[in-house]
Structure 1
Amino acid sequence: MPELTVGERRWSVEPGSNLLDALNRAGVAVPFSCRAGSCHACLVHCVQGLPSDSRPDALSSEQRHLGWRLACQCQVVEDLQVETFDPLRDGLPATVVGLDWLSSTVLRLRLQPTRPLRYRAGQHLVLWTVGRVARPYSLASLPEEDRFLEFHLDCRQPGQFSDAARQLRLGDPMRLGELRGGALHYDPDWQAHPLWLLAAGTGLAPLFGVLREALRQDHQGPIRIIHLAHDASEHYLAKPLAALAANRPQLTVELLVGAELAAALAQLRLVSRQTQALLCGHPDSVEAFARRLYLAGLPRNQLLADVFLPRG
């Protein structure tokens, strides 16, 4: 059987084992979110040997040449030595400067890093607690306007990170992992096109950043934002969205709960074949949104999506 080596640890794994699962089962903490090669949270450095990679297109040729791989997309087929992210050695120190409950289950976390971080709306960042619990989250802040990094944490279900987040206090230290890519962004070439932003739950976080970026760049086409929540109390950005829409006739905001989704999707009609759609949230919701948009005639290359995979 092939052997996997991380630091001083070495153990055998079944041939063809998923690299991410093999690492996490052995207690080597490698964060992940989408498991689809999109969020890049599970990036590892292969020092010796190479795994079988089912998504070679997910990284640049330069990254691959240097030995970087997405653990969620790799299978262990030979002896392999990898280096994983060490938050104390490699992480950027940050301080908790804001903690607010936007609803009964959504915690807004604001962090101040020790040095400015260059990022774009829609990207991901891996957060590490002092107890070395890690989780990738999408940035809801805007680099040109906000002096902090903002994240919206779904604490509805128990989990290592959400449980730790509930105990955070102002002034607490955290560590930031590497900034990751992601499908969601705003392209100035879309300025005259209809822009649809469809979110479920805290999938609204990156799309809120993208929306603000579009408005900052004076987007000229109509903007439609739809937020799907479990119930009305979970439309946690209803007031900020209403404030943005108040003086912008090109921006419309629609708030849906689960029971209304099917009827709302049935009424979905494209106003233009040039519509650009960005989707984010639970895989089932993203799939439902995407299926309806395709049926409505949206070209596949005009739909960008990120999914938040539930931890289990």
Structure 2
Amino acid sequence: MPELCVGERRFTVPPASNLLDALNGAGCAVPYSCRAGSCHACLVRCLDGQPVDAKPEALSAAQRDQGWRLACQCTVAGDLELALFDPLQDGLPATVAALDWFDDVLRLRLRPGRALRYQAGQHLVLWCADVARPYSLASLPGEDDMLEFHLDCSRPGAFCDRARQLQVGDELRLGELRGGALHYDPDWQVRPLWLLAAGTGLAPLWGILREALRQGHQGEIRVVHVARTPAGHYLAEALQAMPGVSVELVLAEQLDEALAGLRLASRQTMALLCGAPGSVERFARRLFIAGVPRNQVLADVFTEHA
């Protein structure tokens, strides 16, 4: 059977094992989120030997040349010597600058050790000690030198449990910056823009909304935010203060009724969706019924995390 070597650890695994499962099964504690090659939380470096990679295009040529692979997308075909992503060595330090609680939502603001170039809608892997999780950026590039994230801490979880203990001045580490499906294109300036979010799926859309306004968006802007409770509409006041933006705050039990009220005024409408899989699926189904072309619907799905 193939042998895997990680530091001082050596162990055998069955041929064709998923690399992420094999490593975690041996106690190597490789973080993961989407298992689809999108979040990049499960980066590992191949020092000797190569696994079978189902999604090589998910990493840049430079990353692959350095030996980086996404463990969730790899299967073991032979002996491998691996190094796990080390946040202390491979990550960028960032200091907690502000912590604001809105019911169970934590608005976390970090000051990175160096300026990052990013676009609204992208996400970063955050490391809190040895626990990692990808989060969408809610901040707007160029607005200030801080990065903003919205964390749903309503359920227990390894990262959220750590986040609840954070204090201003604590240090986290930043992993890879990734581009998701969501962004703002200047070519959309005269088109209607619909932003549909559930829970903290609002985070990337909050950045994109402000990017659209900064670029002088001329078309209709409509924001629909779904939350389990009224307190879950954590950006209600800020959204309603946005000039020229139509805002609908919807409770989860009222979602079907609210979606039924969506009426398409233009086939040029761009729709950006973000939230848990069930919510995004309901958004997308209603938009299809309303007549929004599929190629004008961009979605980012938040998966559950341990």
| Residue 67 to residue 154, structure 1, CA distance change in 2 (3 Å) | same
Residues 42-68 of structure 1: CA deviation (Å, up to 9, x unaligned): 233333333333334434455445544
1:156-195 to 2 correspondences below 5 Å: 156-195=154-193
| Residue 16 to residue 149, structure 1, CA distance change in 2 (3 Å) | same
1:302 — aligned with what? Answer: 296
CA distance in 2 between counterparts of 1:260 and 1:66 reads: 50
1:93 — aligned with what? Answer: 93
| Residue 168 to residue 218, structure 1, CA distance change in 2 (3 Å) | same
| Residue 259 to residue 167, structure 1, CA distance change in 2 (3 Å) | same
Query: What is the letter of the counterpart of residue 173 of structure 1?
Result: E
Residues 167-206 of structure 1: CA deviation (Å, up to 9, x unaligned): 1111112211121221111111211211111111111111
2:214 — aligned with what? Answer: 216
1:57-136 to 2 correspondences below 5 Å: 57-60=57-60, 63-64=63-64, 67-102=67-102, 104-129=103-128, 131-136=129-134
16-25 or 276-285, which deviates more: 16-25
SS of 1:30's equivalent?
A: coil
CA distance in 1 between counterparts of 2:124 and 2:29 reads: 16
| CA apart distance, 1:232 | 1.3
Query: What is the letter of the counterpart of residue 303 of structure 1?
Result: V
61-70 or 218-227, which deviates more: 61-70
CA distance in 2 between counterparts of 1:279 and 1:222 reads: 16
1:289 — aligned with what? Answer: 283
Structure 1 residue runs without a partner (length 5+) = none
CA distance in 2 between counterparts of 1:299 and 1:67 reads: 40
Structure 2 residue runs without a partner (length 5+) = none
1:13-92 to 2 correspondences below 5 Å: 13-60=13-60, 63-64=63-64, 67-92=67-92
| CA apart distance, 1:92 | 1.3
SS of 1:17's equivalent?
A: coil
2:224 — aligned with what? Answer: 226
CA distance in 1 between counterparts of 2:109 and 2:153 reads: 15
Query: What is the letter of the counterpart of residue 124 of structure 1?
Result: H
SS of 1:214's equivalent?
A: helix
| Residue 159 to residue 117, structure 1, CA distance change in 2 (3 Å) | same
Query: What is the letter of the counterpart of residue 265 of structure 2?
Result: V
> Conserved in 1, the CA contact under 8 Å of 2:199 and 2:226?
yes
Query: What is the letter of the counterpart of residue 82 of structure 1?
Result: L
The one of 237, 260, 267 aligned to 1:273: 267
| Residue 120 to residue 283, structure 1, CA distance change in 2 (3 Å) | same
Query: What is the letter of the counterpart of residue 254 of structure 1?
Result: E
| Residue 183 to residue 82, structure 1, CA distance change in 2 (3 Å) | farther
CA distance in 2 between counterparts of 1:163 and 1:20 reads: 23
> Conserved in 2, the CA contact under 8 Å of 1:140 and 1:149?
yes
> Conserved in 1, the CA contact under 8 Å of 2:46 and 2:82?
yes
SS of 1:215's equivalent?
A: helix
CA distance in 2 between counterparts of 1:194 and 1:293 reads: 13
CA distance in 1 between counterparts of 2:295 and 2:4 reads: 39
Query: What is the letter of the counterpart of residue 136 of structure 2?
Result: S
Give the alignment's TM-score, normalised by structure 1. Answer: 0.90
2:253 — aligned with what? Answer: 259
CA distance in 1 between counterparts of 2:77 and 2:234 reads: 46
> Conserved in 2, the CA contact under 8 Å of 1:34 and 1:307?
no
| CA apart distance, 1:288 | 1.5
1:149 lines up with 2:147 in the alignment: yes
| Residue 91 to residue 56, structure 1, CA distance change in 2 (3 Å) | closer
CA distance in 1 between counterparts of 2:9 and 2:251 reads: 48
Residues 59-111 of structure 1: CA deviation (Å, up to 9, x unaligned): 44554455443222222233233333211111211111101102x20011111
